[in-house]
Amino acid sequence: MDARLNPAEFLGLGDGDAHVIRNAGGSANDGINSIVVSQRLLGTQNIAVIHHTDCGMATFTPPLLHAKVLAETPGEAAEAELNKLEFRTFTDLDQSVREDVSLLQGHPLVFTTEGSVSGWVYETSTGKVRRVV
């Protein structure tokens, strides 16, 4: 989701090489719908979970965001919708990658084989990608 980053560029991908699913915090949980479509209808076999350093999701807590949203959008309907959302903030970047890989490996709707789901961190300061799992 981070507009500063271009995954196709730092991964050396051309148009049509990969389905890139982006969301706040790189949350695998938030990408499940798109992953299912990508695998079942488009034949995707491998999944690379990529988070990045200097991520905004490591800078706040869900209660802080809830308070901000409700202050700006008061009302029972807004609160009910907000309570349906799960903001997956984190303090340990590598652990968040491991958790997302584990979630995908154990999800009943995601096709996985040995080594088909990997986890990576893009280092914004160096432009390098390092493997976590």
The interaxial angle of helices 93-106 and 28-42, nearest 10 deg, is 40
Round to whole Å and give the CA distance between 35 and 96.
18
What do you get for the CA distance between the two ends of the chain, in Å? Answer: 22
Round to whole Å and give the CA distance between 127 and 122.
7
15 carries a ligand binding annotation: no
55 carries a ligand binding annotation: yes
92 carries a ligand binding annotation: no
CB of 49 within 8 A of CB of 117? yes
Please report, in range form, the residues annotated as the binding site for Zn(2+).
2, 52, 55
Please report, in range form, the residues annotated as the binding site.
2, 52, 55
